[in-house]
Amino acid sequence: MVEAVAGDGGADMVLPGPLPWAGAVYDGASDSIRAARNLAADFMERLQRAYRIALSTRVVGAVQLVVSELVTNVCKHAPGPCALDLVLVGRSLEIRVWDSSFRVPVPDVPDPGRVGRHGLEIVTALCGEIDVRREPVGKRVRVRIALGSAPA
């Protein structure tokens, strides 16, 4: 994993400006999923502490779940590295995941009897919509999660 994080000399993940963000580049191995979840948890904690944004346990868990599902899809279906960006945009957290595959993810038809392959269903349920854009190399998936409270 190569991590590129905004902030004070790389030690703090939050920019002092209007758009706090955190980001990392992962190699696509299975430990990328855990590392991405940890980055999301750390970023959410810093939003609460540094920006005094009240976040429920449910919202923090939802952010970690969405990050986990998106990075899991990359690790399973796209060769090579991926990049994760978390950006505070108003009262929402924008989650962006880039990977090197041009293949656009398509959610399966909901089927409660199916084991597995529910990741995009989960992401859609938590975020409302998924924006997928092809890039010059690969694609970028972007979603937003409402955080509930504005900065204090």
User: Could you read off the pLDDT of 12-54 as tens digits, one per residue?
Assistant: 344 445 569 999 999 999 899 999 999 999 999 999 998 888 9
Domains, in order of start, for the chain = 21-146 (3.30.565.10)
Is residue 58 left, alpha or beta, with left meaning phi > 0 and alpha meaning psi from -120 to 50?
alpha
Whether the Cβ atoms of residue 97 and residue 82 lie closer than 8 Å to each other: yes
If you average pLDDT over every residue of the chain, what do you get?
84
| Amino acid letter for position 20 | P
Confidence category of residue 1, pLDDT binned at 50, 70, 90 = very low
- Average pLDDT for residues 116-125, to the nearest whole number? 81
Cα 117 to Cα 125, 138, 146, distances in angstroms: 14, 21, 24
pTM for the complete prediction?
0.82
97 or 129: whose pLDDT is higher?
Answer: 97
Q: Helical H runs in the chain? A: 31-51, 57-77, 119-127
